[in-house]
Structure formats: C-alpha cells, structure tokens
Structure 1
Amino acid sequence: MLLVTLAACGAEPERSEVPSAGGGKKASAEVENEIDQYIESVGVWAKCMRKEGFPYTDPDSKGRTEFEGDGRKAKTDPKFTAAHKACEKHSKPVPEELERRNAPKLSAKEIKKRQEYSRCMQEQGSPDFPEIDAEGTEVSQEWDQNTSGAKRASRICEPILGNPTIPPSERKG
C-alpha cells in the first residue's frame, strides 16, 4: 500500500491547459489561481468602498459585486468619486479566462456579424483591428482607434452592426 501511495505522489499530475493572452498555454491550476487572486482583489476593493461609506457586496464566484443603494445618486456624489479613486489601488484587471466564462454565448449569426465587421474595419483603414475568433471573441490585439483610418472605417462599417451611419450602398469595397 505504501509503495502505491509513493508512486502516485511522484507522478506528474495531468493538467489541462487553456490559451493565454500571449498565445501560449497556461495550466488550468495557474488560471484558477489567477481568477482566485482577482476575486480576492475585488473583495478587498469592496471592503475599501464600504469603509469609505459605499455599501458594496462581497464578490460572487465570478468576481461580480453590487452596490446596495441608489447608484445614480452615488455616482454624482463627489465623495463617491474620491472613494473610488482611493480604492482603485486594489483593482486588478479581469483575467481573460474569467471574461470568457462570463461572456454571453453568441449565436452563429452574431459571430458572423462580428467577423464581418472586423474584416470591414481592417479593409477600410484600420488594419490593426482585432480578429474575431470562432466564438465571436476579439483575439487579444491592441489597435489604435484614434487614427483617421480607424475613424473612417468605423463610420463605413457601423451598418454591419446595425448602426446605419453610412448605407451599405455607399461603402467602398
């Protein structure tokens, strides 16, 4: 019995891997640890906001917290702005995997629309616009939306998303 236990302890555990933002893979335990650290930071942020007088709930398992009061009134309160600024040091960016898990599932039609919009943006003056993967998610990539090409492409491509600023008949391409 002892030999079996020792042999099991010495074996490399099988770990599934998930894509990381850098294109590599992270072990699922590493991803879960990153998510746990994020949720913990949200809890510290919520506690800070409560200390400043603004009642936020502790985060749920997805890192979401809620304001237990009149949000519209709080957002116009200068004390809220000061509290938010004081507590922002506890904020961490949402891990990519958690964003993926929390994202709503898109229909095939919506994914196709996002992919078409991405191609349009790239072809109409914003070649650095992010690609859209098979799940409808932007492939991590920074793009400069302030260039004249990006602004022109946005005007031209908006109708694809259902925002008719320039009719499709007037688009180049």
Structure 2
Amino acid sequence: MLPLLLAACAGACSKSGSDDGVATVDGTSRPSATATGSLQEQAIAYTRCMREHGVPLGDPEVSASSIRMGPVDKAAVGNDKLVAAEAACAPLLPQLPPAEAAAKVEKSREFSRCMRAHGFPDFPDPDADGRAVVPDPIRQSPRYEETKRLCDDQVRSFTPSPAASR
C-alpha cells in the first residue's frame, strides 16, 4: 500500500470536549461525519484513527478515482478492539463524491455478474456501497483467484463509449 503521511491530519481522530468537530487549541479534534479534504487526506485520517485505537491498519492506496484501505491482520487484533476502533473511526471513513460512488457501485455489480458468468453462480451482489461479502466456500475455490483476476481486468477495462449514454 502506498505510504501516505500528511502532518495536516494529525489528531484527526482524537476527541475533544466540544461537539463542533473543530480542532481545539490543544491539537485535538472530534471526528466529523462530513467528508472533508481529498480522498488521500480522508484515508490518512481514518488510518491514523484506527492506529490510535490499537489497530495496525496498513497504509491506504489512493488514486485519482479510487481508494483501497490498507490491510489489517485481523487474527493479530482482537475482535473487540477491531469493532471498537471501527466504531470510533467510522465518521472518518473516506467517502467518494456521489458520482464516483455510483460508478464504483456499478463496477462492483459488473464484477459480480462477471464472477457468476465464469463459474460462481452464487457470487453475491454488492450492497449499496459497492461491497460484497464473499462466502468462504467461494473464496476457497481453487479457481477463485484466477477468476477474480479475470473479472478485475474485465471490469477495469470496461469503459462505455460516449454513444452508450445517449
């Protein structure tokens, strides 16, 4: 994951006694439910918050149109700690602009259709945020990784022509 560290996000997850979501003189702030800053700044703030809550989240990958949060070794972190950190940091979870979020959901749907078309008829549709929980029997299939790469490539390369939207 790309190492992304900005000093501007320091203290973004700390709580102050105030409820206004504004940084205080002592350098702390309260998380805001409103996405502010670039995707990179949002990802860094969320990652820093998770780390401050004891979850060694890997560095996020951010590109112009997407974000992939860093990995975490769930076995190394207790479930209670992970759930508590996710709850505390939820207001800082990066949010794509609406048009980009809709495009992400559509790409996720296309990915699910591709997986079903290539031998995984029970592959789930994504939720409203574009996430799909893939059952273990599918993930453990010997063909899963190869099919996943195929569908990743197919979905990534799909760009409708301008005439397709008319």
Classify the TM-score, shorter chain: 0.3 to 0.5
TM-score when scaled to structure 1? 0.35
TM-score when scaled to structure 2? 0.37
User: Which protein is richer in helix relative to its size?
Assistant: 1
